[in-house]
């Protein structure tokens, strides 16, 4: 069982034109309903990292607070989270 504390509202960010800092979160919960690529960019919009999420997959990933994220489709919801203490 995974325990997380949502710290903000979930958001979709489909396509590079819709990338988001997601409230400057460092920990992001991502839930995917259809396979797509997740991209992490620096403030200048340059790709730093990317990875594939499969259909039905949910993960938590880390990013720098000033990095932006987006998905290749609207099938991913990103939620800023913290771990319980």
Per-residue model confidence as pLDDT tens digits over 11-24: 999 999 999 999 99
- Give residue-wise pLDDT tens across range 1-58: 778 899 999 999 999 999 999 999 999 999 999 999 999 999 999 999 999 999 999 9
Res 8: pLDDT: 95
pLDDT at 51: 98
- Conformational region of residue 75, where left means phi above 0, alpha means psi within -120 to 50, and beta covers everything else: alpha
Output the pTM of the full model. Answer: 0.92
Q: Give me the residues paired with residue 62 across strands.
A: 27
CA atoms of 27 and 52, how far apart (whole Å): 18
């Amino acid at each position: 069982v995974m325990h997380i504390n949502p710290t903000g509202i979930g958001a979709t960010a489909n396509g590079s034109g819709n990338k988001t800092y997601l409230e400057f979160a460092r920990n992001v919960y991502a839930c995917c309903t259809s396979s797509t690529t997740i991209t992490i960019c620096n403030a200048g919009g340059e790709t730093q990292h990317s990875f594939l999420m499969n259909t039905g997959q949910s993960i938590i990933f880390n990013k720098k607070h000033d990095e932006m994220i987006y998905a290749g489709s609207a099938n991913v919801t990103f939620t800023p989270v913290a771990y319980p203490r």
